[in-house]
């Protein structure tokens, strides 16, 4: 099987995730600022746990090649992606320390700990499948937004977010990651029990992504009440 | 420190959890049946993960005495508590297999995987502290409901739930568990970094319990719309 | 693939393990008592770690059926098998507490921690494959000894050991375990990368079994110098 | 407590480890080449597992600061230290691929999997304590050898090994690591149960280091028979 089989097996969830109202409003620049700030702070906490998950991938790897493959992801998460969030929030005088002290919301806990547990319970394939909706989905969203005629660029306050995830660096990183994921999946039949388990893991992780977007939107609802 | 220090350090969360509207409505028999059924099915899935966490406690134990201590908890969860839920749902022709196939909701994933990850990331003390809000809280709730003058017994459709958690078996089991937890905590100062970490873990786990009750209530809201 | 493929893939190691000089001397009652006592004390420590590994199998299981399957193994190890060793050593006034305080020798550490790490690094299949040489091998050894014309029964000081592992209880337990292992292996081709990984795990675990027997024999060599 | 308390609590083992005959012969250039080659190949396999253990430290860390602290160790192991071994063995036409295919000997399995399991079973403090005998011991050995009047430098075939572990880079890295370990231990009393557990872990890990040197020497014994 390939990563595309994972996506095909949960099309409704994948569409809801990659075209979530949070995403579309972000692309059009109409997303309430409180929603984006809440999301960004929670995503900062998410990235921290996500880096733990890539460290787990090094622990789970059987070969030096696989260990070395996961290492730059840990480094990139702890530096590059986190730095984007800190830079953005810095305009509101939030430091990295402030952001690390924020409380994790339910959907943040749900998604991150699901990935970590799926990876710990299973093997390195389970772990990468649980990680996949985030990387592949964000690349799909970045690509979708940059090609969407409704996307606003010049005056969009969330322009740096769109640039980050539609940028060459991120897109090429994910493209390489999908090649690797396909290697991991190559021996597994989509119709086997193992294949169905992996689909289940991918589906739950995608559902947790949806809950994560919704969590950001809900803040706006509460605020406007 | 003792387990009471954990509770004292997050009083607002503890009160919200143990006196949640879901609990009070359950005690008075006014909880919508859809809410209870949803909760029970999710709690079934919760207990399955919770049994994994007690199995992890055996793995994490350093002595035969500690290993043997966790074993009956795994057995009780896989048999006694799960059987209660299956028996109850059996009246609606749901089998254990049906219930195991249900999808986990966000708060179910959040709470269970948080406990499992806290236990895996830390040592056996972290694990038992993450497990504590459930056991201690349910015993406190069972005890509160049975003494609450507003609680309805004779015509309460949720009577078996109240009986289970206010019953001698459950109450004594939790009493023994708190003695054990106090042993685990005995050397740790509440004001140390280690003590503060444990408080943080207990607090987040309690917040996830609140989200779990709320998840049950939200079903009713959706249904009544 | 089946468990027999695992054995077939490492015949030299399997023969050395199941017909080790320690085993043959034990069957003939000629094994130095210091060797057997050392082995039994180390095997006690081994069983403790082995029980942790079966607890890990509950943690790693995805279904209630698989969780319930591993539970009796944990219970049997913590009670029945450990009790045999304590009973035997009791004749030399060693208590369970004494035995738990013994230091683990190198081969004991090597074998037990290899199994635990193989199970944690991989998934439940990796774990059961790492566990397999012990259960299957001891059943094969028990069966071989009871049918070996060179085996001494009446005056053999190690008779209770032969009885334990050749007995119906143990033999049937292992027979059921191999059926289960074959189920776990059913989807995996022996020629796949996954199949070869599992063979490698089984082979290393078998080599650690050999080192464990040798460790027992070496004590006699040191003593006789 | 401090890391020195760990060393003080197992002086006999520490002395045997840091002044092992393998080490002294290496310093004097009299170590049989087969012993050193065997050691180096096993140490290569050791470093691979050791890198998994530092990746586990990232997983186990609670703060971004602690996560970032472990990252360079993973990178250094996967690059710098492994490269030294590959460079050295390259003179005998062994490639990294050849070395990764070597079978792990018993003491290699024992030490590496003990560290990984101690870290997984316990928390980040247990993990760093299990890792400590290697880093601190090699720095002590490097320092001892360079100051030992019996050490041969100019014609010593193992000169690059002495240079690596006595060099400024390695010595300063370990010095920084001990400061960090002391921070982790600062709240723990040496006389507490927790302190005694950590001493036990350090002691077993040190015993596994001794077995690792002995494993190298034993090859020479076998060869000369």
Q: Is the pLDDT of residue B40 over 50?
A: yes
Which ipTM score applies to this complex? 0.95
Among residues A68, A44, A9, which one has the least CA distance to residue A216? A44
Contact by Cβ (8 Å): C199, C1: no
Distance from C-alpha of D84 to C-alpha of D164, rounded to nearest angstrom: 8
Residue ranges making up the domain that contains C50? 3-224
Among residues A50, A60, A174, A57, which one has the least CA distance to residue A114? A50
Q: Is the pLDDT of residue C152 over 80?
A: yes
Of A104, A110, A121, which has the smallest distance from its Cβ to B109's Cβ?
Answer: A110
The predicted structure's pLDDT at residue A57: 98
Calculate how close chain B gets to D122, using CA atoms only, in Å.
4
What the block records as the tokens of C57 is 């199998």
Residues in chain A closer than 8 A to D75 (CB atoms): 71, 75
- Our count of domains for chain D comes to 1
Residue A101 in contact with partner chain D when CB distance is under 8 A: no
Distance from C-alpha of B102 to C-alpha of B100, rounded to nearest angstrom: 6
Q: Is the pLDDT of residue A110 over 60?
A: yes
What the block records as the tokens of C86 is 């304590």
Residues in chain D closer than 8 A to A59 (CB atoms): 52, 55-56, 59
Contact by Cβ (8 Å): A113, B116: yes
Distance from C-alpha of D125 to C-alpha of B122, rounded to nearest angstrom: 9
Distance from C-alpha of B39 to C-alpha of B26, rounded to nearest angstrom: 11
Query: Helix, strand, coil: what percent of chain D each, to 5?
Result: 80, 0, 20
Residue D104 in contact with partner chain C when CB distance is under 8 A: yes
The set of residues, in sequence order, having a beta carbon less than 8 Å from that of C216 and lying 6+ positions away, is C22, C35, C36, C38, C39, C42
Residue where the block lists tokens 């989807």: C187
Of C103, C104, C110, which has the smallest distance from its Cβ to D109's Cβ?
Answer: C110
Calculate how close chain A gets to B155, using CA atoms only, in Å.
35
Residue C200 in contact with partner chain D when CB distance is under 8 A: no
Residues in chain C closer than 8 A to B61 (CB atoms): 52
Q: Is the pLDDT of residue D60 over 70?
A: yes
Of B62, B120, B192, which has the smallest distance from its Cβ to D187's Cβ?
Answer: B192
Distance from C-alpha of D91 to C-alpha of A145, rounded to nearest angstrom: 55
Q: How many CB atoms lie within 10 A of CB C177?
A: 19
Distance from C-alpha of D21 to C-alpha of A119, rounded to nearest angstrom: 43
Q: Is the pLDDT of residue A195 over 80?
A: yes
Percentage of chain D beyond pLDDT 90 is: 90
Calculate how close chain D gets to B123, using CA atoms only, in Å.
4
Q: How many residues does chain D have?
A: 225
pLDDT band at B225 (very low <50, low <70, confident <90, very high): very low
- pLDDT tens digit string along D177-221? 999 999 999 999 999 999 999 999 999 999 999 999 999 999 876
CATH code: domain of residue C132: 1.20.910.10
- Give the angle subtended at the CA of D4 by the CAs of D2 and D7, to the nearest 5°: 130
Of A48, A68, A100, which has the smallest distance from its Cβ to D78's Cβ?
Answer: A68
Portion 70-99 of B in contact with C at CB < 8 A:
71, 74-75, 78, 82, 96
Residues in chain D closer than 8 A to A58 (CB atoms): 51-52, 55, 58, 74
Of D55, D59, D67, which has the smallest distance from its Cβ to A78's Cβ?
Answer: D67
- pLDDT tens digit string along A142-171? 999 999 999 999 999 999 999 999 999 999
pLDDT band at A222 (very low <50, low <70, confident <90, very high): low
Portion 110-129 of C in contact with A at CB < 8 A:
120-123, 126
Of C104, C121, C204, which has the smallest distance from its Cβ to D104's Cβ?
Answer: C204
Region at D147 (left for phi over 0; alpha for psi -120 to 50; beta for the rest): alpha
The predicted structure's pLDDT at residue A89: 86
Of B52, B113, B208, which has the smallest distance from its Cβ to A114's Cβ?
Answer: B113
**What's the mean pLDDT when you consider all of chain D?**
95
Q: Is the pLDDT of residue D224 over 60?
A: no
Residue C51 in contact with partner chain D when CB distance is under 8 A: no
- pLDDT tens digit string along B92-110? 888 999 999 999 999 999 9
Residue A197 in contact with partner chain C when CB distance is under 8 A: yes
What the block records as the tokens of B124 is 């056996």
pLDDT band at C224 (very low <50, low <70, confident <90, very high): very low
Residues in chain C closer than 8 A to A194 (CB atoms): 187
Which chain C residue shows the shortest CA-CA distance from A191? C187
Write down the pTM of the prediction: 0.96
Distance from C-alpha of D35 to C-alpha of A26, rounded to nearest angstrom: 64
How far apart, in Å, do the first and last CA atoms of chain D sit?
Answer: 47
The set of residues, in sequence order, having a beta carbon less than 8 Å from that of B185 and lying 6+ positions away, is B1, B2, B3, B5, B125, B129, B198
- pLDDT tens digit string along A21-50? 999 999 999 999 999 999 999 999 999 999
Residues in chain A closer than 8 A to D67 (CB atoms): 48, 51-52, 55, 78
Interface contact D74-A71, CB threshold 8 A: yes
Q: Is the pLDDT of residue D99 over 70?
A: yes
Q: Is the pLDDT of residue D89 over 90?
A: no
Among residues C39, C60, C214, which one has the least CA distance to residue C129? C60
The predicted structure's pLDDT at residue A26: 98
pLDDT band at C221 (very low <50, low <70, confident <90, very high): low
Interface contact C121-A193, CB threshold 8 A: no
Interface contact C121-A187, CB threshold 8 A: no
Contact by Cβ (8 Å): B202, B115: no
State which H helix or E strand residue A143 sits in: helix A124-147
Residue A183 in contact with partner chain C when CB distance is under 8 A: no
Q: Is the pLDDT of residue C225 over 50?
A: no
Residue A217 in contact with partner chain D when CB distance is under 8 A: no
pLDDT band at B89 (very low <50, low <70, confident <90, very high): confident
Residue from B1, B59, B123, B201 to probe the interface with D (highest D Cβ count within 10 Å): B123
Interface contact A55-D52, CB threshold 8 A: no
The predicted structure's pLDDT at residue A225: 41
The predicted structure's pLDDT at residue B221: 67
Residue from C56, C57, C61, C62 to probe the interface with A (highest A Cβ count within 10 Å): C62
Query: Which of B65-69, D140-144, D156-160, D219-223 has the lowest average pLDDT?
Result: D219-223
Percentage of chain A beyond pLDDT 70 is: 98
The predicted structure's pLDDT at residue B79: 84
Mean pLDDT, to the nearest integer, of D136-158? 97
What the block records as the tokens of C98 is 């004494």
Chains touching B (3+ CB pairs < 8 Å): A, C, D
Cα distances from C127 to residues A123, C53, C181, C203, D22, in angstroms, run 11, 8, 10, 13, 35
Of C51, C67, C82, which has the smallest distance from its Cβ to B51's Cβ?
Answer: C67
Percentage of chain D beyond pLDDT 70 is: 98
Residues in chain C closer than 8 A to B96 (CB atoms): 64
Q: How many CB atoms lie within 10 A of CB C25?
A: 18
Mean pLDDT, to the nearest integer, of D83-112? 92
Which chain B residue shows the shortest CA-CA distance from D195? B187
Residue D104 in contact with partner chain A when CB distance is under 8 A: no
Distance from C-alpha of D210 to C-alpha of A222, rounded to nearest angstrom: 63
Residues in chain D closer than 8 A to A78 (CB atoms): 64, 67-68, 71
The predicted structure's pLDDT at residue C107: 98
What is the greatest pairwise CA distance in chain D? 54
Mean pLDDT, to the nearest integer, of A87-106? 91
Q: Which residues of D112-123 are buried (b: 16+ CB within 10 A; e: fewer)?
A: bbbbbbbbbbbb
Residue from D117, D200, D212 to probe the interface with C (highest C Cβ count within 10 Å): D117
Of A62, A121, A189, which has the smallest distance from its Cβ to C59's Cβ?
Answer: A121
Of B59, B123, B192, which has the smallest distance from its Cβ to D126's Cβ?
Answer: B123
Interface contact C56-B61, CB threshold 8 A: no
The predicted structure's pLDDT at residue A79: 84
Q: Which of helix, strand or coil describes residue D205?
A: helix
The set of residues, in sequence order, having a beta carbon less than 8 Å from that of A167 and lying 6+ positions away, is A142
Among residues D42, A2, C100, which one has the least CA distance to residue B66? C100
- pLDDT tens digit string along D10-40? 999 999 999 999 999 999 999 999 999 999 9
Calculate how close chain C gets to D189, using CA atoms only, in Å.
22
Among residues D54, D19, D52, D26, which one has the least CA distance to residue D40? D26
Residue A208 in contact with partner chain B when CB distance is under 8 A: yes
pLDDT band at C222 (very low <50, low <70, confident <90, very high): low
Among residues D177, D198, D167, D197, which one has the least CA distance to residue D135? D177
Q: Is the pLDDT of residue B223 over 80?
A: no
Q: Is the pLDDT of residue D225 over 80?
A: no
Percentage of chain C beyond pLDDT 70 is: 98
Calculate how close chain D gets to C160, using CA atoms only, in Å.
29
pLDDT band at B26 (very low <50, low <70, confident <90, very high): very high
Which chain A residue shows the shortest CA-CA distance from C61? A121
Interface contact A52-D75, CB threshold 8 A: no
Q: Is the pLDDT of residue D87 over 50?
A: yes
Distance from C-alpha of C43 to C-alpha of D208, rounded to nearest angstrom: 18
Residues in chain A closer than 8 A to D86 (CB atoms): none
Chains touching D (3+ CB pairs < 8 Å): A, B, C
**What's the mean pLDDT when you consider all of chain A?**
95
Residue B187 in contact with partner chain C when CB distance is under 8 A: no
Q: Is the pLDDT of residue A224 over 60?
A: no
Residue B153 in contact with partner chain C when CB distance is under 8 A: no
The predicted structure's pLDDT at residue A221: 67
């Amino acid at each position: 099987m390939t990563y595309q089989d994972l996506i095909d097996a949960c099309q409704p969830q994948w569409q809801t995730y990659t075209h979530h109202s949070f995403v579309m409003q972000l692309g059009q620049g109409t997303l309430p600022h409180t929603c984006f700030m809440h999301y960004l702070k929670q995503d900062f906490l998410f990235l921290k746990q996500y880096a733990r998950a890539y460290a787990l991938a090094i622990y789970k790897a059987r070969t030096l090649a696989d260990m070395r493959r996961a290492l730059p992801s840990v480094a990139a998460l702890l530096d590059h992606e986190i730095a984007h969030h800190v830079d953005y929030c810095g305009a509101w005088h939030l430091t990295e320390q402030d952001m690390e002290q924020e409380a994790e919301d339910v959907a943040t806990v749900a998604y991150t700990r699901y990935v970590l547990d799926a990876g710990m319970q299973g093997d390195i394939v389970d772990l990468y499948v649980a990680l996949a909706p985030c990387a592949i989905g964000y690349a799909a969203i970045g690509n979708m937004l940059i090609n969407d005629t409704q996307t606003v660029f010049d005056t969009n306050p969330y322009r740096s977010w769109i640039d980050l995830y539609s940028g060459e660096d991120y897109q090429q990183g994910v493209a390489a990651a999908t090649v690797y994921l396909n290697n991991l999946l190559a021996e597994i039949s989509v119709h086997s029990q193992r294949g169905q388990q992996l689909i289940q893991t991918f589906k739950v992780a995608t559902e947790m992504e949806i809950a994560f977007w919704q969590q950001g939107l809900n803040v706006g609802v509460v605020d406007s009440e």
